[in-house]
Structure 1
Amino acid sequence: MKLIKIVFGVSLFALAMNSLAELSPEDRGLEIAKQADRRDRGWKDSQADVKMILINKGGDETVRDMRMWGLEVRLDGDKSLTIFDSPRDVRGTKLLTYSHKAEDDDQWLYLPALKRVKRIASKNKSGPFMGSEFAFEDLSSQEVEKYTYKYLRDEACPEPYQDIKCFVVESYPVDENSGYSKQVNWIDQEEYRTFLVEFYDRKDSLLKTLTAKEFKQYLNKYWRAHYSMMENLQTGKKTLLKTDKIEFKTGLDDNDFTQNSLKRAR
């Protein structure tokens, strides 16, 4: 019986690959993005403890401790709240993000020194988040509708996953205020995890790369990278997000993701 299940699974995978191959590069890229999205539904909410490590061109490091909360939103983009706990100069700083499928994302930054909430304008979302190599727009959930797509090729995934086959897919931001002209994504064909993203600036020059690894699976379904390195190839600076712990279905709700919650979240 186990052998039958394995053969049946392989047959379904082959049929899926053949169906994809019959599509245009644009439709195939879109279908790959949709499949990745479908596989990551149903997690409801999450809380993660994360270290943000800023690395300058000379290799010097600055370490920040933060928490990242997430809330899955039905029929729209997800909500997130990032809370800095240390060091003292950033403690209490918070970023609230409402991602949207069709409209511009909403983002608010709480600065404890000023005791005020600042809205991030759409035209400023390509700017650096808290001096890191992550832009404000990188902190939004990557909804399928935010991009158009084009499948490029199949090839071996980047190290250390070179034994797995990847789809290589270009995605083009719909938002005219995006700091990127396109992204190139390496997505594994087994679990639809994104291992590598290349970001191209508005002049179509390679700007940054995001390398994701140390993946762990949660609730027997959801894959999360515990190591995410954003490297700016034009400045030589890097930012590492190293996740210590993630918990899902912790009871967070809409009340935890409001502008008022920016001032009271601990």
Structure 2
Amino acid sequence: MKVMTLSAVLLAGQLLIGNLASADVMGDPKAIEVAKERKARDLGWGTTEATVTMELKNAQGQKATRALRVKSLEVQGDGDKALTVFDSPRDVKGTAFLSFSHALEADEQWIYLPALKRVKRIASKNKSGPFVGSEFAFEDMTSFEVEKFSYEYVGEETVNDEMSFVLKQTPEYDFSGYSFMKVWVDQSHYRVQKVEYYDQKGALLKILLLSDYKLFKDKYWRPMKNLMRNVQTRKSTTLVTEEMTFDTDLSDDDFDKNSLKRVR
């Protein structure tokens, strides 16, 4: 079995006194080490704004396209905040989704639907539901926080031409739609290359493929393409990031649930 690099060992030690939440994480120490390094390599990015194209494909191969914008704010010592606004087509234009991810508490999510002209809070028991008719669930639209899962080290495998650690992640939060996920994390930069989602009966439900990674600020890797394929319904959703900007002028005031109706 391949031995972890010296830098990985040193970084794992640094994480013991790092910025991650202090709660105990359950599971295989080696798997936890990989998960923590994945998170540690993505700390300090601050703020981002992105324009994204969403392509929906049904079982018959028919396609529909949506345009959206995503604003994100890193929160020190907790999960991140994200605001998604749909610009087209007309039937979803003005829809706004706000998510407050948390490391130790239940995530908070709200959605504004123009047709109803009101802001609706997404109940925790509904987090496994589809995000605006896509193959992504509401629980998929949150930041990765190490403390949300327990971990098992599965092994190593090459995916997307990258030798990767394979982890089994089991949600430790309530009302997840998944019994567990298998996650492929590459050994070169600790980027997620692939995720398999298993339903509550333990059957494979969805596969997420992340590709076209781009390096920002000489430190932060972002996948420009995310393909979520539902193997049970044969539907898929692709998110393509057209443009992404870091260090934008965002603050907590830009992530206010009371102003979702006015977001443009």
TM-score of the superposed pair, with normalisation by structure 1:
0.90
Preserved contact between residue 255 and residue 261 of structure 1 (Cα < 8 Å): no
Preserved contact between residue 185 and residue 193 of structure 2 (Cα < 8 Å): yes
User: What residue is the counterpart of 2:23 in the other structure?
Assistant: none
Unaligned 5+ runs, structure 2 = 13-25
User: What residue is the counterpart of 1:13 in the other structure?
Assistant: 5
User: What residue is the counterpart of 1:253 in the other structure?
Assistant: 251
User: What residue is the counterpart of 2:63 in the other structure?
Assistant: 61
**Residue 175 of structure 1, CA deviation:** 1.2
**Residue 15 of structure 1, CA deviation:** 6.9
Over the aligned positions, Cα root-mean-square deviation in angstroms equals 1.9
Give the number of the structure whose residues are more often helix, by fraction: 1
**Residue 144 of structure 1, CA deviation:** 0.7
**Residue 13 of structure 1, CA deviation:** 2.3
Among 234, 237, 240, the residue aligned to 1:236:
234
Correspondence 1:116-155 to 2 at 5 A: 116-155=118-157
Preserved contact between residue 77 and residue 101 of structure 1 (Cα < 8 Å): yes
**Residue 196 of structure 1, CA deviation:** 0.3
Preserved contact between residue 198 and residue 208 of structure 1 (Cα < 8 Å): yes
Preserved contact between residue 50 and residue 69 of structure 2 (Cα < 8 Å): yes
Q: Residue type matched to 2:84 in 1?
A: T
CA change 1:15–1:212 in 2 (3 A) is closer
How far does the alpha carbon of each residue in 1:12-65 deviate from its partner, in whole angstroms, 9 at most, with x for none?
925747999xxx971111110100101001111110100010000111100000
State how far apart, in whole Å, the 2-side matches of 1:61 and 1:143 are.
33
Residue 74 in 1 paired to residue 57 in 2? Answer: no
User: What residue is the counterpart of 2:96 in the other structure?
Assistant: 94
Preserved contact between residue 52 and residue 65 of structure 1 (Cα < 8 Å): yes
State how far apart, in whole Å, the 2-side matches of 1:250 and 1:176 are.
34
State how far apart, in whole Å, the 1-side matches of 2:233 and 2:214 are.
31
State how far apart, in whole Å, the 2-side matches of 1:73 and 1:101 are.
11
Larger Rg: 1
Preserved contact between residue 152 and residue 169 of structure 1 (Cα < 8 Å): yes
User: What residue is the counterpart of 2:188 in the other structure?
Assistant: 190
Unaligned 5+ runs, structure 1 = 1-10
Question: Number of aligned pairs?
Answer: 249
State how far apart, in whole Å, the 1-side matches of 2:116 and 2:157 are.
50
CA change 1:90–1:155 in 2 (3 A) is same
How far does the alpha carbon of each residue in 1:70-118 deviate from its partner, in whole angstroms, 9 at most, with x for none?
0000111100001000000000001100001111100000011221100
Q: Residue type matched to 2:5 in 1?
A: F
